[in-house]
Amino acid sequence: MESFFLFSEKLRLIAAVSLCLLILCFIPGDASCLDLTDKNVLIIGNFCTEKSGENLPAGWETLLFKKIEKHTLYSRVRDNGCFVIKAEANASASALIRKTSINLNKYPIVNWRWKVSNILEKGDIHSKSGDDYPARVYITFEYDPAKLSLWERSKYELARLVYGQYPPYAAINYIWGSHAPKGTLSPNPYTNRTMMYVVESGDEKLNRWIEEERDVYKDYKKAFGTEPPMVSGVAIMTDTDNTGEKATAFFGDIIFKDKGK
């Protein structure tokens, strides 16, 4: 009889621990998975269902930069019950990109999760030497010749001949800034065709899963003053090549949805 009670106590203990773990998996800010069951959302990064390992998630490819020798390391890891992308930068830069076509009139809202382990001491959104971020979600827009002058169109044609495709017409970077205040909107120090939105900043939320939601349609109009063209790609990036520092970040699922979702 005593052994029966001991067995029952063990069962209760296991049940209690299992319940605690189940509750922890659904604590807001700690979960790394989005709800991907809605058929009306556009799934861009379905990382949670991917398996761990070094292979890239389906539909994504590495984006390298010609003048940067060291590349950020991206891998799939398990975190809090979900598979996510881990980015590790050490005086390096590269990105993971998914080429896609998205109509912002239909899917204006982007939703994603990320977690950052550290900020950059020398990070500065306004200078080339500080143009590094522990995490960014990079959205590019299709080349639209109707929006450019003859001289600008000729430059795009030259780029197409050299690289085999047109470069993006414009880009929005949603960044985790190191020192710039949350809500800052600023052109990239290298080009005013890329606008930087600081959606998180500083170390207050480090090592926590944070869910973000942005109206890309409105952000584009505010940044560039015109109707947005089609989205041509979505990238995730952790870079420290300018500051020479180290950074680690994690990226969860990424979706686009309409305003009613």
- Residue 61 is part of a domain; what is its CATH number? 2.60.120.260
Question: Does one domain contain both 82 and 19?
Answer: no
Question: Does one domain contain both 6 and 86?
Answer: no
Distance (Å, whole) CA 81 – CA 113: 14
The model's pLDDT over 188-242, given as tens digits with 9 standing for 90+, comes to 998 888 999 999 999 999 999 999 999 999 999 999 998 999 999 999 999 999 9
Question: Does one domain contain both 39 and 54?
Answer: yes
Task: Determine the pLDDT at residue 81.
Answer: 80
Question: Does one domain contain both 100 and 205?
Answer: yes
Question: Does one domain contain both 38 and 9?
Answer: no
Question: Does one domain contain both 163 and 187?
Answer: yes
Question: Does one domain contain both 57 and 26?
Answer: no
The model's pLDDT over 17-61, given as tens digits with 9 standing for 90+, comes to 333 333 333 334 444 577 777 878 999 998 887 666 657 788 999
Question: Does one domain contain both 42 and 23?
Answer: no
Question: Does one domain contain both 88 and 213?
Answer: yes
Question: Does one domain contain both 26 and 118?
Answer: no
Task: Determine the pLDDT at residue 19.
Answer: 34
| Residues spanned by the domain of 13 | 1-30
Question: Does one domain contain both 52 and 113?
Answer: yes
Question: Does one domain contain both 128 and 73?
Answer: yes
Structural domain count of the chain = 2
The model's pLDDT over 105-160, given as tens digits with 9 standing for 90+, comes to 999 999 999 999 999 999 999 999 999 999 999 999 986 656 655 555 555 444 44
